[in-house]
Amino acid sequence: MAQDTLPERPTAAEPPARGRGPLAGLWRPGRARRAGGTGGTRGAVRARVPAMIVAGLLMWLAFPPLDLTPLAPAGVAVFTLALRGVRARTGAWLGFLGGAAFFLPVLTGIVKIGPDGWILLSLVQALYLAPLGAGIALVHRLRAWPLWTAGLWVAEELVRGHVPFGGFPWARLAFSQTSTPLTPYASLGGAPLVTFLTALLGGLLAYAALAAWNARATGARRPHLARVAAAAAGGALVVGGGLLIPVPTDGRTVTVAVIQGNVPRLGLDFLGQRKAVLDNHARRTHELAAQVRAGKVPRPELVVWPENASDLDPYTEPDARRTIDDAVRDVGVPVLVGALVDTPDGTKVENRGIVWDPRTGPGDYYVKRHPVPFGEYLPFRDVLTKLITRFERIPRDFAKGTRSGVMRLGPVTVGDVICFEVAYDKEVRDVAGGNILVVQTNNATWGKTSLPPQQIAMSRLRAVEHGRTILVAATSGVSAIVAPDGRMIARSREFVPDIQVARVPARTSRTLADRLGAKPEWTLAALAVLAAGVAGFSSRKNEGN
């Protein structure tokens, strides 16, 4: 019999189960399982297909904009139960199925670049859940399997966030828990710890559901109900522990401003669009300066513009430089300007955040280090442009920056990341030494989809993870000012001009998550993968006997 804390099959002390119900097929062992293997009857496997689809949909509903956050652990629980008692290879395709049911709806915003791109990206992301499904099918045979399943979720996200082309860490479990009792754990172990605990709650829920089912089916209520109580106590400990973690918000305060200029929607050619976007942000900055002079808002000590506020190179376009100069001098404080700049050889483009001083003009700058593959640069360009003509819209690759975005902006240092870099642990951790974090983004392409609110959710988790105020400046929304404890101080609507002014903490102390870095993620992932390896070796040994 496999090592487990719960009985896998009737024993002499427990008569065969006669209970029936809609969930019976999820954990009824198949013939191979009863013989010590990890197979399952066809009927039992068929029952898992709709369960996997339900699991994926439940997890999707936990993410913005729906924000039904308790459904993330519930989805993990169904995902886990659907993999119980199957072979690893069956678990792999079931995991892929659950991944497809999750990623297709959670990434619907990608449809703006084409249905084919959306479907392809979603299915590629779903592939990462195939080894996850195989691993969970294996570790079900071990004691403390809820812990190992949770660790495997961390391992899956680790790989997905790094491979290939630097990975795509969107829609991690942690990013569904940005305003829950689990959020404070980010300050201890970062996003990976929040993912681990979200999945652990799901594993404990699955453990409790299985124990309750066994109590009903076998009539041996006492031992199984004790396991239900133990799982409930474990879940309460996890949730309660999060409520007890202090999230500091102190620090000297500075007045900041975020500008959302908005973008024109129709009626202009490409060059006219770019000039109109720049003019919109300059106009809002002049409006801010007028409000300060009228005493309507306090004078900010720094201002942030979004990514692509100027798609006209201000170093080579005199009109663009003059427009920015006039606006910055009018407001009278340094402005972080998002601009596209040609590289010296003219072969590539740099996506920059430029510190623009009202007296000396452009100074220090940050170049985006993680350009988007197939969006801002094209891998295998010579081959792909011949196969897919749409890629001709990317005539030049974006250059990759080589240093972090910690820069002096007025009275503080800021740590700048650009657009979807906020999803990457390392990129944000590298700039967490700044007093304030900044996310410059251009969401115009993805407007009115799930992607802008999902990006805001990531920023809220990063605020808690690093104990920093975060300023999110978007061309068309959503722009926001987020307090170090994750509270929303200001939030814009989409496709409207907006000026946000607030007095916020500029902190210097580091969180435990900052000091530990990637260690929690690699440790949790390595232990879970090791457990899956032990379970796989044991399974092969049993089958060999």
Neighbours of 10 (CB within 10 A): 15
Dist. CA 110–CA 129, nearest whole Å = 20
Active-site residue among 8, 301, 368, 465? 368
Q: Is the peptide bond before 164 cis (omega within 30 degrees of 0)?
A: yes
- Are 457 and 64 contacting, i.e. CB atoms less than 8 angstroms apart? yes
Dist. CA 174–CA 198, nearest whole Å = 7
End-to-end alpha carbon distance in the chain = 13
Q: What's the token pair of residue 139?
A: 């570790």
Cα-based distances in Å from 279 to 29, 107, 185, 465, 483: 66, 32, 42, 36, 30
111-132 as b/e, with b when 16 or more CB fall inside 10 Å? ebbeeebbbebbeebbebbbbb
Q: What's the token pair of residue 163?
A: 């491979």
DSSP string, 205-222: HHHHHHHHHHHHHHS-HH
β-bridge mates for residue 341, sequence order = 350
Dist. CA 460–CA 66, nearest whole Å = 16
Q: What's the token pair of residue 325?
A: 């100069």
Dist. CA 337–CA 347, nearest whole Å = 22
> Is 543 annotated as catalytic?
no
Pick the closest to residue 277 from 259, 258, 262 (CA basis): 262
E strand map for 485-531: 488-491, 498-506
Neighbours of 295 (CB within 10 A): 8
Pick the closest to residue 455 from 306, 349, 336 (CA basis): 306
Continuous H helices in 9-69: 24-27, 31-34, 42-61
Long-range (24+ apart) CB contacts under 8 A made by 158-164 are 158/192, 158/521, 158/522, 158/525, 159/128, 160/125, 160/128, 161/423, 161/424, 161/425
Chain centre to alpha carbon of residue 159: 14
> Is 494 annotated as catalytic?
no
Continuous H helices in 128-269: 129-139, 145-160, 186-218, 221-244
CA atoms 449, 454, 457, 463: torsion sign: negative
- Are 409 and 440 contacting, i.e. CB atoms less than 8 angstroms apart? no
Active-site residue among 156, 419, 494, 521? 419
> Is 419 annotated as catalytic?
yes
Active-site residue among 307, 376, 421, 521? 307
Long-range (24+ apart) CB contacts under 8 A made by 165-168 are 165/373, 165/379, 166/370, 166/373, 166/424, 167/424, 168/121, 168/125, 168/423
- Are 300 and 257 contacting, i.e. CB atoms less than 8 angstroms apart? yes
Dist. CA 366–CA 417, nearest whole Å = 8
Report the catalytic residues: 307, 368, 419
